Amino acid sequence: MRVSARKIKTLLLVFSIVIGCKSNYTKVTKTEQQEVSIEKVNNNPVIRHIRTADPSAHIWQDGKVWMYTSRDAEDAVNYNSMDGYRAFSSTDMVNWTDHGEVLHSKDIPWGVPGWMWAPTAIYKNNKYYLLYPHSVKGSKDDMRCGVAVSDVPEGPFKDIGWIAGVEGQWLDPCVFTDDDGKTYLYWGVREPKMALLKDNLLELAETPRSIAYGAKNFFEASYMHKYNGKYYYSYNAGLGGFYAMGDSPYGPFEYKGAINPKQRQDHHSIINYKGQDYFFYHWQGWNEGSKFRRNTCIEYLYYNEDGTIQEIYATKEGVQKIK
Ligand code: FUB
């Protein structure tokens, strides 16, 4: 029987699709009389067409989850080449719309090309703001906390300068607005710091304080969130994510240990969406990733009855689509 080259090509294509789909699924089987099979799709990383890192997740006025990320180049061998923040949105945690680049270093008059590290975002004064660590022209070691604004979550964002008073400090900014409307800035490398911000987001309203968190393993990526009236200060220790709990945005915080102990660096953020808690982070273990070629992933986050957080480990499944 003669089989044409075209038929062979079609057969190979169908075969590879079947194999590809199969490897994308994990079968979880519950036994007991009747067998129920739940198919879990491998959803991590959640963004695959480009490499993204440092995900800063938020639920904005439109009821969608918005995520602002930094970008790792496909061939990156250091962090200098990181350039151009991206915005993504979703309503089901699995399908993400890429809104493209929202701010590039060429649009920051005081900054150098590249060096666009972990951003954070906030909705305030009826506007959307990005705050980001970026190096100043003439000195790559002088990283400042840039501020950019947009009327809409998808940007583009326009740079309006940097926060006065934290110049020269390598920093990963995190902004947190408490229930009384006061907004706090957390930042630092090796030594975590915080201060109340003025409403213009360009000035500190008080002298920066060091954060007492009951341990000595802080390295970078400060993060603050609130749950059941408690304040959770979390961060990356260089080897894993850790956290401490307190009764005020200032602390002092009581050290509670690991959230995400196995990640080299994770730069996480945490939200509750449609009744479920989620942990956003980046991971280097996909498609020839490296510490410079990272990808955004999401896991479920669970609290214990006493408010402590159950440890999180990177999975291929990640989170499943909200129905
Ligand atoms: O992405 C560049 C830097 O690596 C971030 O600012 C740190 O938090 C770490 O993720």
Q: For strand 220-227 and strand 174-177, is the pairing parallel, antiparallel, or unpaired?
A: unpaired
Q: Are residues 51 and 91 in the same domain?
A: yes
Q: What local confidence, expressed as pLDDT, does residue 263 receive?
A: 80
Instruction: State the pLDDT confidence band at 7, using cuts at 50, 70 and 90.
Output: low
Query: What pLDDT, on a 0 to 100 scale, did the predictor assign at position 141?
Result: 77
Q: Which two tokens stand for residue 257?
A: 């240990």
Choice from 85, 86, 220, 291 to test ligand 1 binding pocket (greatest atom count within 8 A of CB): 220
Residues 140 and 86 in one domain: yes
Q: pTM for the whole thing?
A: 0.88
Residues carrying an active site annotation = 54, 220
Which numbered atom of ligand 1 lies nearest the CA of 220? Answer: 8
Do residue 271 and residue 195 come from a single domain?
yes
Q: Which residues share a beta bridge with 241?
A: 236, 260
CATH number at 82 reads 2.115.10.20
Residue ranges around ligand 1 (CB below 6 Å): 53-54, 70, 79, 82, 117-118, 133, 172, 220-221, 265, 267
CA of 117 to the centre of ligand 1 (A): 6
The whole-number pLDDT of residue 12 equals 44
Residue 200 reports pLDDT greater than 80: yes
d(CA 54, CA 273): 19
For residue 6, pLDDT over 70 is answered with: no
- Considering the domain boundaries, does residue 144 fall inside one? yes
| Statement to judge: residues 31 and 75 lie in one domain | no
If you average pLDDT over residues 146-150, what whole number do you get?
A: 98
Could you give the number of structural domains in the chain?
A: 2
How many Cβ atoms are within 10 Å of 189's Cβ, its own excluded? 17
Range of the domain at 185: 41-301
Q: Closest ligand 1 atom to the C-alpha of 72?
A: 1
Residue-wise pLDDT for 284-312, tens only, equals 989 999 999 999 999 999 999 999 999 99
Nearest CA residue ID for atom 10, ligand 1: 267
β-sheet bridge partners, residue 113: none
Q: Which two tokens stand for residue 73?
A: 């180049």
Cis preceding linkage at 45, omega within 30: yes
Q: What is the pLDDT of residue 313?
A: 95
In angstroms, the CA 232 to CA 253 distance is 8
Residues 54, 21 share a domain: no
Output the furthest CA–CA distance in the chain (Å, rounded).
84
Does 35 have pLDDT greater than 80?
Answer: no
* Residue 307 covered by a domain: no
Distance CA 150, CA 133 (A): 18
Are 3 and 73 part of one and the same domain? no
Q: Are 31 and 114 found together in one domain?
A: no
